Structure 1
Amino acid sequence: MSTLFIRNHQYNVIKKQTEFLLKTLRTVSDRRVLETVRFRAAATITEAFDFLTEDQRHMLERITAFETAYDFQRYLSELEAYVVPFPPITLKQIQKLFPKNKKLKIPDLQSIDFRFVTYLGWVDVATNRLFMIYPSEGQFVGIEGRITPTNKKGYCLFCNRHQELAFFSVKTKNALPDNYSSVGQYVCIDNHDCNQLITDTEALEKFIHYVRK
């Protein structure tokens, strides 16, 4: 059985580098430049991992040898077998994360490809609420807040890509009892697209830690 070692955001790094390298191959003829771009792409990919075995590193660094779109697509398809899926979660577990929402609308979990999910997110359009679930230290963390479309594009806090944004406002407790404040950030209005683009979890994890402290 293959050892799963690529998380979704790391797979997105690989996708981004394959797209950049393929574009360079189509537009640049200088072999020295191409060689530099090839090895920079491989380095960027391996640097996205804290630890790699020699076999895993060799597997990822094969990107330096590819020439065609077919080569890159086959490379990505083969790597899908090593992607670590979002941890299994049940409807009951989700409901327990949001106990105050007795009529919580939950997405169809069967329709989600959990290999390509960094955080599970969905919007209840009836209440303008965004719900997020993230695995942290062996358990699930649930966050909810008001989501307000901005009808403009900008850089999402989580994926840092230029996308259509919404303002996500979450209530947090202050030091005093029954004293609340709100923390707001601009995030992708489409959670699926955000998961397809996120290449680093640091900003997401900092936000989750801040609103839950």
Structure 2
Amino acid sequence: MSTTFIRNHQFNVIKKQAEFLQKTLTTVADRSVLETVRYRAERNIIEAFPVLTEDQKQLLGQISSIETAYDFQRYLSTLESCLEPFPPITLKQIQKLFPKNKKLKVPDLQAIDFRFVTYLSWVDIASNKLFVVYPFEGKFIGIEGRITPTNKKGYCLFCNRHQELAFFSVKTKPANASPDNLSFFGHYVCLENQGCNHSITDTGALEKFILYASK
């Protein structure tokens, strides 16, 4: 069995299913309801993976037989060892993604636990810019744009979490357009990226935004 096959957003799916099942076990006595919830938790986890070996399915499927809080914690701890971290990236690689920013301020990469990172991002407070780095098809994509706090709560495009939002606006250039013909593309995202990374369960909206913004 592959030692690392779980990406951060998939692990978030597992955590949410485990938390819901654990809560159900402590509040519901009907055995038929419990069995249904167990089945759905296992299926939701398995469906979060496009490809799995039989050994991987068996490992993930252990959630359907868990009873105690201790066993849930042990289950999640075991799966943490199977996390596939954000691909290794260096300061120079990040700088090459943003060549126009000669004084680019990058977070301390050594301080980041990349097992729990789906996308790397940081805010430059001086310029009110948000920088995002995402691995896609074997390469890194970097986008940057203006970040404007809204002082309102709503649903983040990336993680679908109800949280305080900011408007992320990125300059884009239409195909075959002149250098001066720019437009803006934006959406509402979490102000706090660590919480976003700990909540994201699907990369579809994130990838769509990044691919469009990086044209």
- TM-score w.r.t. the length of structure 1 is 0.98
For residues 67-117 of structure 1, what are the alpha-carbon distances to aligned partners after superposition, in whole Å with 9 as ceiling and x for unaligned?
Answer: 111111110010011110000000000101011111111000001000010
User: Match for 2:153: what amino acid?
Assistant: K
Q: Percent identity?
A: 74
User: Match for 1:180: what amino acid?
Assistant: L
Counterparts of 1:10-49 in structure 2, within 5 Å, are: 10-49=10-49
2:3–2:81 CA contact under 8 A, matched in 1: no
Do residues 167 (structure 1) and 139 (structure 2) align?
no
Shift of 1:2: 4.8
SS in 2 for 1:36: helix
SS in 2 for 1:204: helix
- TM-score w.r.t. the length of structure 2 is 0.97
Do residues 177 (structure 1) and 173 (structure 2) align?
no
CA distance in 2, matches of 1:148, 1:160: 18
Partner of 2:5: 5
Structure 1 segments (4+ residues) deviating >6 Å: none
Partner of 2:207: 205
Partner of 2:50: 50
Structure 2 residues without counterparts, runs of 5 or longer: none
SS in 1 for 2:198: helix
Structure 1 residues without counterparts, runs of 5 or longer: none
Counting matched residue pairs gives: 213
Superposed CA RMSD = 1.0
Partner of 2:190: 188
User: Match for 2:27: what amino acid?
Assistant: T
CA distance in 1, matches of 2:69, 2:163: 26
Partner of 2:106: 106
